[in-house]
Amino acid sequence: MRKKGITIQKTVACCFALLLLSISACGTDDNSNSSGEDAKELGKEFVTELYTVDNPDINVSEMEIEETNEMQHEFSSYLTEDEFKNLANRRFLLMPLEAAYQNKTTISVQDVKLDEYESDMSENDELDFEHSFTLVLDDLKEDKEIKITGEMTVIETEDGPKINRYYDTEIPGELINQDVSLN
């Protein structure tokens, strides 16, 4: 009788140990996978927010500096302070609005893809992505699709994930050159 009690205790102890082991292993995978998914979601949201233009009547070249700064500041929550300054100083964050106005077209974003890759330069808290998406200019005589590719690095900050480096092939120059229109 005593032998049965010891066997049951060992069985319960083994089951409990296995349960704890499986719970702790699952928790670790979820956290690392979760940060990667959070970084991907941030990148997709940023690209979509940046390049979607529903109102082609906004003429940034006629705006006061404070207005353009305010428009660009809408993207600061996606970017580290240094990367925001870098992109804002180059007026990169205004290019989609300029292209939409000059071509009298709305712009939508389709097929956003982010693929993580290992970089020799990466720090432990950085995730590097190659990304691609398609811009659709809707109101031209015929719809025009433009494939954009690039890279971004997302880091974890005390405010959550932020894009620390962003590069893409940009909207083609002929779409934002005031002397040329596709209409």
pLDDT in tens, 10-61: 555 555 555 554 544 444 444 455 678 889 999 999 999 999 999 999 999 8
What does the pLDDT read at residue 176?
A: 76
| 85 inside domain | yes
Q: Helix and strand tally (H, E) in the chain?
A: 4, 4
In the sheet that 126-137 helps form, which strands lie side by side, from edge to edge?
107-117, 126-137, 144-157, 160-168
Summarised one tens digit per residue, pLDDT across range 73-113 is: 999 999 999 999 999 999 999 999 999 999 899 999 999 99
- Whether 115 maps to a domain, the answer reads yes
Cβ atoms 16, 69 nearer than 8 A: no
How far is residue 131's CA from residue 145's CA, in Å, rounded to a whole number? 17
Residue 23 belongs to a domain = no
To 10 degrees, the CA torsion angle through 82, 85, 89, 90?
A: 60
What token pair was written down for 102? 């000059």
What value does the mean pLDDT take over residues 112-121? 82
> How many domains are there within the chain?
1
Query: Is residue 25 a part of any domain in this protein?
Result: no
Q: Where in the sequence is the domain holding 60, given as residue range(s)?
A: 36-175
In Å, how far are 21, 56, 87, 91, 176 from 61, measured between CA atoms? 61, 13, 17, 11, 11
Residue 167 forms part of a structural domain: yes
- Note whether residue 27 is domain-resident: no
* Cβ pair 129, 154 in contact under 8 A: yes
pTM, 2 dp = 0.76
pLDDT of residue 33: 56
Note whether residue 127 is domain-resident. yes
User: Is position 147 within any domain?
Assistant: yes
What pLDDT does residue 92 have?
A: 94
155-170: per-residue pLDDT in tens?
Answer: 999 999 999 999 998 8
What pLDDT band is residue 72 in, cutting at 50, 70 and 90?
very high
One-character DSSP codes across 56-87: TT--GGGS-HHHHHHHHHTTGGGB-HHHHHHH
